[in-house]
Amino acid sequence: MPEPIQLETKDGLYLPEADLWLDPHRKHRWAFVSHGHADHFARHDRIITSKPNAHILRARYNVTPSRLEPLEFQQPFDHKGFTIRLFPAGHIYGSAMIHLTRKSDGATLLYTGDFKARRGLTAEEPVFRQADTLIMETTFGKPQFVFPTITEVSGDILNFVNTALEEGATPVLHAYSLGKAQEALAILTEARIPAVLNSATAKMTTACREAGAGLPEPVLFQGTVPAGSCLICPPNSLHKDKYKGVENPRSAMLSGWALIPGAKYRYRCDAIFPLSDHADFPGLLEAVNRIRPKRILTVHGFTQEFATELRRLNHDAWSIDGDDQLELALRV
37 binding Zn ion? (CB under 5 A): yes
Task: Give the up-direction half-sphere exposure of residue 154: CA atoms within 13 A in the CB hemisphere.
Answer: 16
In a 3-state reduction of DSSP, which class is residue 134? strand
Sorted by sequence, the CB contacts under 8 Å of residue 38 that are 6+ apart come out as none
Q: How far is the CB of 39 from Zn ion (least distance, A)?
A: 7
Nearer to Zn ion, 181 or 231 (CB): 181
Nearer to Zn ion, 125 or 167 (CB): 125
137 binding Zn ion? (CB under 5 A): no
Stretch that binds Zn ion, among 82-90, 111-119, 253-261, 289-297 (CB under 5 A): 111-119
Q: How far is the CB of 104 from Zn ion (least distance, A)?
A: 33
Strands 271-273, 295-301: pairing is unpaired
Q: How far apart are CA 74 and CA 99, in angstroms?
A: 9
Q: How far is the CB of 96 from Zn ion (least distance, A)?
A: 12
Task: Report H helices in the chain.
Answer: 51-61, 150-166, 180-190, 199-211, 263-266, 281-291, 303-312, 324-331
Q: How far apart are CA 280 and CA 118, in angstroms?
A: 9
Nearer to Zn ion, 18 or 181 (CB): 181
Q: How far is the CB of 205 from Zn ion (least distance, A)?
A: 17
114 binding Zn ion? (CB under 5 A): yes
Q: How far is the CB of 14 from Zn ion (least distance, A)?
A: 20
DSSP lists the bridge partners of residue 48 as 32, 69
Interaction mask 207-246, Zn ion, x per CB under 5 A: ----------------------------------------
Q: How far apart are CA 7 and CA 238, in angstroms?
A: 44
278 binding Zn ion? (CB under 5 A): no
For Zn ion, the binding residues (CB under 5 A) are 37, 114
